[in-house]
Amino acid sequence: MPDVFISYSRKDRPTAEAMAAQLAAIGLDVWWDRDLLAGEDYRKKTAGVIASVAVTIVVWSRRSIDSEWVVGEASAARERKALLPVSIDGVTPPLDFRSFNTIDMSSWAPGDPLPAMLVKAIGERTKRSFGEEQPARGAQGLERLSKIVARSWFADFECLLFSFIAQGFAAVLTNIPLAIHQDKLSGPAAAGIACLNAVVTGAVIMRPALAPKRLSVAAAWFALAVAVGVAGYYVTAALWATLQITEYLTFVGFWALGLVLVIDAARRAASNA
């Protein structure tokens, strides 16, 4: 039977896959749902694996704490005293699991050595010694940063993408009056009003995508959304200066339709994140 079972939310799959690969690299037999055979009963197979493994690693994240599957698997592992919880984004585990010492893996990226505490705990439960068998640190610099970003934003990319598109549409639409009367305003005044429009639309449109993020990360993305909003003013002003009114109104109609569609898409993506 396997040594280790990994319980995780499907939206954290890149992290689970990297952990499984690195655990296998130090000689552990790891089971996770990728190993299911076609036609197998997932519930029955998982229950059997949890009942036999020495360690069940539960990957807590803001997505998995709301997963009935993950919470149920964690409960089964707790009953066998095989639970080994880790947190990949600093989230607080569900109430029933807060008394367990949870290993912080929020700064870990695929390719980094697994936390020594994690390897030691697995070694104690499997009655094995792994020493320095872990693979050397992999990616460095920008490559490592890109892996951290990819891991952190994997489940939210769709929501972010649609939100940025919506911000662009909204910026163009809300700046139409400003573009029409741009000749009555100085350049700095027009840019200031455009920035204010961008802040307001960004606060409304980007909120579903940025609400779960840490403040420093959310602030950076919001600043980018504001920049997109300001750019929308210059696009609107350029089009107003070059198009006939009928052509311009045609664009407005398509922009409005696009805004409605992408806001709805972003909302649905946020609810699934």
Mean pLDDT of the chain: 81
Q: What is the pLDDT of residue 207?
A: 74
Report which of residues 145 and 78 the model is more confident about. Answer: 78
pLDDT (tens digit per residue) in 4-17 = 999 998 878 888 88
The pLDDT score that the predictor gives to residue 137 is 52
CA–centroid distance for 111 within its chain = 19
C-beta neighbour count of 236 within 10 angstroms: 26
Token representation of residue 156: 């939210």
Cβ count within 10 A of residue 155: 21
Q: φ and ψ at 89, to 5 degrees?
A: -140, 15
What is the C-alpha separation between 159 and 218, in angstroms, rounded?
A: 14
Characterize the bridge pairing of strands 30-31 and 4-7: parallel
26-54 pLDDT, tens digit each:
889 998 876 555 555 667 778 888 999 99
Pair 231, 171: CB distance under 8 Å: yes
- Lowest mean pLDDT across 89-103, 114-128, 241-255: 241-255
Contact 103, 119 (CB under 8 A): no
pLDDT tens sequence across 225-267: 888 888 888 888 888 888 888 888 888 888 888 888 888 877 7
What are the boundaries of each domain within the chain?
4-138, 156-272
Do 22 and 135 touch, CB atoms closer than 8 A? yes
How many CB atoms lie under 10 A from the CB of residue 187? 8
Helix intervals (H) in 127-214? 141-153, 157-174, 176-180, 187-205, 207-210
Please give the pLDDT value at position 235.
86
**DSSP code at position 121:** H
Check whether 181 has a pLDDT greater than 80: yes
Mean pLDDT of 178-190: 82
Using CA atoms, how far apart are residues 202 and 257, in angstroms rounded to an integer?
A: 18
Tell me, what's the pLDDT at 150? 56
CATH classification code of 4-138? 3.40.50.10140
